[in-house]
Amino acid sequence: MSASAKRLTISELARSLGVSASTVSNAINGRRNLSAETRQRVLGAISDLGYTPSHLAKALRTGKTSTLGLILPNITNPLFPLMAQEIERAASVRGQAVMLMDSQDDLNKQAQALESLSSRSVDAIILVACRGTETSTLPADVILIDAPSDPRSNVSSDHFLGGQLAASHLLELGHTRVSVLAGPENSAVARERHAGAQSVLRAAGLDFVRTFQSSYGLEHGEHYTRTLHRPGECSAVYAVSDSLAVGLIRGFTQMGVRVPEDVSVMGFDDVIWADLITPALSTVRQNTPAIAQAAVRMALGEAGLERAVAVELVPRRSTGPAREPRQPSALPSSAPSSALPARGPGRTGKRTSR
């Protein structure tokens, strides 16, 4: 594109086409009061001449900046760069830019990020809130990605269903002695993933052998390996995040405990390196592109979108048959949520997750 083409104004473009500036504006903004022929002629000229709309001029005219704010709790977590990329992709095709901020899982930094983005007059803010956030106090125009049990959440994965799929997978392999690394106590997402798995075990007449709360991170999974592996006590461990599960595998390997021959390990998220470790991690995959699409569309005012996005079981080599298999009434891992045990009452807390 030439420098002169970049400086082309909407009025100059209109004069070159022999139409009004409002006709060009209507074509650019997709308004329906134009004939298909006129719209195509204007858009064709825009493509040929390299006209670029001035976002500053549009902001002054409409009060809209064509910019979305995005706040993530920890950009070093491999799940969140993928989410940021998908949100940017979904926004870009709608003519929106994205301004990204990292709260570093700190409530004060998150509040500062919300204030900073608001002061820059972004059109909407998409928030993956850090742990301990009182979501009921968030501004109404913030699009929240959280657990479905949070009534303030706009969109999220179906974490409860994901827990059900994980537990069903372990039951099908004959595991009746399962422990759980349940993540942080103040994480709504972790609670959903734990509760979903527990509902399946209880439907089979079982429960977790042991339950441990912990922060997320490889080092926390690694820390719990010696406590979790007591020969004969449990044959499988379900971790509510891949970072914890990978830490478990690393810790077990250092101890000489074989995965999955001595103990199976199940994760949740399907982050980029879940298939790269040895053994490859069995996990539950989130549909991050679908969540990103829904969040962006909600931020732009589209209604009637799905709140809870389905998840998918991804069995790999970190889970295998139990050494002393029994045959409880396991449920198919591909069963729809209506065929799995019903969600229990009372999970409507307003504290958010991650």
What top-level class would CATH report for the domain 3-53? mainly alpha
Please give the CATH number for the structural domain made up of 63-154.
3.40.50.2300
Element containing residue 194 per DSSP (H, E): helix 188-203
SS3 category, 181: strand
* Cα dihedral 151→155→156→161 (10° resolution): 70
Supply the pTM of this predicted model. 0.76
Residue ranges with strand state E in the chain: 67-72, 97-102, 124-127, 142-144, 156-157, 178-181, 211-212, 236-239, 264-266, 283-285, 308-309, 312-314
Predicted local distance difference test score (pLDDT) of residue 77? 87
Closest of 10, 97, 2, 4 to residue 53, by C-alpha: 10
Strands 142-144 and 124-127: parallel
In our burial notation (b when 16+ CB lie closer than 10 A, e otherwise), range 208-222 reads bbbebebebbbebbb
- In terms of Cα–Cα distance, which of 283, 215, 216, 228 is closest to 255? 228
Residue 330: name the closest of 155, 140, 200, 230 by CA.
Answer: 200
Annotated domain spans of the chain: 3-53, 63-154, 157-285+307-339
Domains 3-53 and 63-154 alike in fold: no
Q: Is the peptide bond prior to 260 cis by the omega test (within 30 degrees of 0)?
A: yes
For the chain, give me the number of helices (H) and strands (E)? 13, 12
Tokens of 31: 């308004």
User: What is the architecture of the domain spanning 157-285+307-339?
Assistant: 3-Layer(aba) Sandwich (3.40)
Q: Are 299 and 71 in contact (CB under 8 A)?
A: no
DSSP class of 337: G
Q: Which of 153, 129, 201 is nearest to 309 (CA)?
A: 153
Q: From CA 297, how far away is CA 155, in angstroms rounded?
A: 11
Per-residue pLDDT of the chain (354 residues; tens, 9 = 90+): 343 344 567 777 788 888 887 887 777 665 657 787 887 888 777 767 766 665 545 544 545 678 999 999 999 888 899 999 999 999 988 889 999 999 999 999 999 999 999 988 899 999 999 988 999 899 888 999 999 989 999 999 999 999 999 999 999 999 999 999 999 998 999 999 999 999 999 999 999 999 999 999 899 999 999 888 777 789 999 999 999 999 999 999 999 999 999 999 999 999 988 999 999 999 999 999 999 999 999 998 876 677 899 999 999 999 999 986 344 444 444 444 334 666 653 344 444 445
DSSP track, 4-43: HHHT--HHHHHHHHTS-HHHHHHHHTT-SSS-HHHHHHHH
